């Protein structure tokens, strides 16, 4: 940081502040990693809850009497959906395990980057799980030819809300 600014640490130690005021925050790399980790965990909690509830319901379908009446196509969609749900669950729980395994190794900034990547993978898998589950439900409920179109519209909505809009805002409002 310009001007030799310093920060008073607990215990009275003075360290040079290495934050970047141009981005609106005055924090060290470790402080940034701590903040980003806290934010990431809050985000993951929301996604984990959704995927775990969906996955739990999916697991029960095979034990219902109606499952035997499903056509082979619907059974295949069901199996793909369950596997996607399991993969999404793993990816979204991964950051917690990742943090626990690397905790105390003084590599938190790298851990946060990798946990964030796992979270994005988990969101993509959650997107696929929800789309596949919707396809299965609507095929069984309606047997109409408009089902793929309806699922496609919902998929586009998910993509818009989860990825396109955030990427557009990020690009539009990014500091150069």
pLDDT band at 133 (very low <50, low <70, confident <90, very high): very high
Q: What is the pLDDT of residue 124?
A: 95
> In terms of Cα–Cα distance, which of 110, 99, 117, 119 is closest to 29?
110
Q: What average pLDDT is seen over the chain?
A: 85
Q: What is the pLDDT of residue 23?
A: 53
Q: What is the pLDDT of residue 20?
A: 45
Q: What is the pLDDT of residue 117?
A: 93
Q: What is the pLDDT of residue 1?
A: 41
Decide which of 11 and 47 is more confident: 47
Mean pLDDT of 121-131: 95
The answer to which of 2-11, 52-61, 130-139 has the lowest mean pLDDT is 2-11
For residue 98, give both structure tokens.
Answer: 């990742």
Task: Kindly tell me if the per-residue pLDDT of 11 is higher than 60.
Answer: no
Mean pLDDT of 20-39: 78
Task: Kindly tell me if the per-residue pLDDT of 2 is higher than 70.
Answer: no
Angle subtended by helix axes 72-102 and 29-61, to nearest 10: 150
Residue 132 contacts residue 86 (beta carbons within 8 Å):
no
What gap in Å lies between CA 130 and CA 151, rounded to an integer? 10
Query: What phi and psi values does residue 9 have, to the nearest 5 degrees?
Result: -95, 160
64-118: pLDDT as tens digits:
999 999 999 999 999 999 999 999 999 999 888 887 887 777 888 888 899 999 9
Q: What is the pLDDT of residue 19?
A: 46
pLDDT band at 176 (very low <50, low <70, confident <90, very high): low
The answer to which of 22-26, 72-76, 118-122 has the lowest mean pLDDT is 22-26
Q: State the DSSP H helix or E strand holding residue 57, giving kind and residue range, or none if neither.
A: helix 29-61
């Amino acid at each position: 940081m310009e001007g030799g600014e310093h920060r008073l640490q607990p215990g009275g130690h003075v360290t040079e502040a290495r934050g970047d005021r141009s981005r609106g925050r005055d924090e060290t790399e470790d402080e940034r990693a701590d903040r980003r980790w806290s934010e990431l965990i809050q985000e993951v909690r929301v996604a984990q809850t959704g995927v775990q509830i969906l996955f739990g319901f999916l697991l029960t379908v095979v034990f219902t009497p109606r499952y035997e009446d499903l056509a082979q196509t619907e059974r295949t969609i069901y199996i793909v959906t369950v596997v996607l749900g399991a993969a999404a669950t793993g990816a979204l729980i991964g950051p917690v395990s990742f943090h626990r395994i690397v905790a105390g190794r003084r590599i938190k900034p790298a851990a946060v980057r990798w946990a964030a990547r796992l979270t994005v993978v988990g969101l993509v898998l959650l997107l696929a799980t929800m789309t596949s589950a919707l396809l299965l439900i609507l095929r069984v409920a309606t047997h109409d030819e408009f089902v793929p179109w309806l699922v496609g519209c919902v998929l586009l909505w998910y993509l818009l809300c989860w990825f396109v809009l955030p990427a557009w805002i990020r690009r539009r409002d990014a500091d150069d």
